[in-house]
Amino acid sequence: MDDELSVRTIVALAGFAAGIIFGATANKTNFCTMGAVSDMVFMGDSKRFRAWMMTIAVAILGTQALHITGKIDVSSSIYLTSNLGWLGAILGGVMFGFGMTMAGGCGNKTLVRIGGGNLKSIVVAIIMGIFAYMTLRGLIGLARIELEKTNVDLSQTSGLETQSMVEMVARLVNAETESVRLAVTLVFAGALLVYVFKSAEFRSSPLDIAAGLIIGLLVPVGWWITGVLGFDEFEPTQLFSFTFVSPTAESIQYLMTFTGASINFGIATVGGVILGSFLMAVSTKSFHIEAFSDGSDMIRHMIGAAIMGVGGILALGCTIGQGITGMSTLAFGSVIALLSILFGALWGLKSLEEDSVLGGLKAIFSRN
């Protein structure tokens, strides 16, 4: 028992340290998925979007390198089961993308803003966490279970052991999965990097390049922490890396039931991100308290947070959990979730631009 506690503690401490680096980097570089999409739509500025794509490429290279060298087995992650939750990825992804536009940012950005003094983000994090837990194990969980009945078992329908795109390519070319892994990895990551560095404007933006490199590398670091540092012959740590919806929910529960709960990598990273952002904000003198501007602003953030919480669980992750960590495993479900999140974000931004969401909310509450 003492050894198990020691392993758990080491994993948590390492996760906390990695979270600090993540939070400080995201704060300093203004790394934000919703902001990246918003910049593209409203200003035609693709730098932050390319930084996001760079994180995916770096995460893929690092994660697949760990697998190829035998440090971890990515097929044991939650993203690579043979059970393809296609409808959850689509519905949850669209919900999360739409919700984050209403809440002013994704799960990662919410935690970073808390560290920077944003009181609105505390409300968003709490509501997102509560609705995420309701979807995991509470009332909304009943609907989630029904939704999972639409999942496709690839082992039964196509004989695939996982939903890995590496295995899919191997099946197409009639080769062993591991024999094509390096080639598939280089094609996916290489294509993203070509797109990223094609822009001279991005190449001249050191902060965006730093964001792409550091945050991208932190994903394989997360896999290494849980898969190598967390190795235990009797009860190994679940292979896990950065994601922020379910860990935020677990963090709220942990704070309330500390004496009967155990810390894990996800909970530790949530705390680390907040602290890292706070330290960076203080050191750069950017820390400032920010509150809701009015009632409709608060309502919009609260509804967006609730939608994010439900969507993030249905999709098995957020812009970080599926958009970077899931993508690093080259899971087909992660591609579906990522595209759905992007669609939801575009839909949300369009609705806010037309004021249809706020207009509807004002109409509803003005009648009550």
Answer yes or no: is pLDDT of 91 > 50.
yes
Q: What percent of the chain has pLDDT over 70?
A: 95
How high is the pLDDT of residue 2? 46
Q: What is the pTM for the complete model shown? A: 0.93
Residue 28, C-beta contacts closer than 8 angstroms, at least 6 positions apart: 207, 280, 284
pLDDT tens-digit series, residues 159-207: 999 999 999 999 999 999 999 999 999 999 999 999 999 999 999 999 9
User: What are the tens digits of pLDDT across the range 67-78?
Assistant: 999 999 999 999
What's the confidence (pLDDT) of residue 250? 96
Q: Which two three-digit tokens encode residue 311?
A: 């969507």
Structure tokens at 169: 């390519």
CB 11 within 8 A of CB 265: yes
Confidence of residue 367 (pLDDT cuts 50, 70, 90): very low
| Residue 340, Ramachandran bin (φ over 0: left; ψ between -120 and 50: alpha; else beta) | alpha
Q: Percentage of the chain surpassing pLDDT 90?
A: 88
Q: Label each residue of 232-283 as H, E or C.
A: CCCCCCCCCCCCCHHHHHHHHHHHHCHHHCCCCHHHHHHHHHHHHHHHHHHH
Q: What is the pLDDT of residues 240-278, one digit of tens each?
A: 999 999 999 999 999 998 877 889 999 999 999 999 999
pLDDT at 7 over 80: yes
Please give the pLDDT value at position 3: 47
pLDDT above 50 for 104: yes
Per-residue pLDDT, 72:
96
Query: Is the CB of residue 298 less than 8 Å from the CB of residue 100?
Result: no
| Cα 311 to Cα 134: distance, rounded to the nearest angstrom | 12
Q: What phi and psi, each to the nearest 5 degrees, are found at residue 263? A: -75, 150
* Residue-level pLDDT at 224: 97
Please, are residues 202 and 50 in contact by the beta-carbon 8 Å criterion? yes
Other CB atoms within 10 Å distance of the CB of residue 288: 9
Cβ(166)–Cβ(180) under 8 Å? yes
Q: How many CB atoms lie within 10 A of CB 258?
A: 10
pLDDT of 258: 81
Tens of pLDDT, residues 203-238: 999 999 999 999 999 999 999 999 999 988 777 788
Average pLDDT, the chain: 93
Q: So what's the pLDDT on residue 307? A: 97
Return the pLDDT at 5: 63
Query: Residue 196 corresponds to which amino acid?
Result: V
Least confident of 51-65, 136-150, 350-364: 350-364
Nearest Cα to Cα of residue 129 among 221, 5, 251, 300: 251
CB 276 within 8 A of CB 19: yes
Q: What is the reported pLDDT for 259?
A: 79
For residue 290, what are the β-bridge partners?
A: 118
pLDDT at 356: 57
Residue type, 6: S
Nearest Cα residue to 111 out of 24, 38, 218:
24
User: Which segment of 124-133, 251-260, 322-331 scores lowest on mean pLDDT?
Assistant: 251-260
Q: For residue 352, is pLDDT > 80?
A: yes
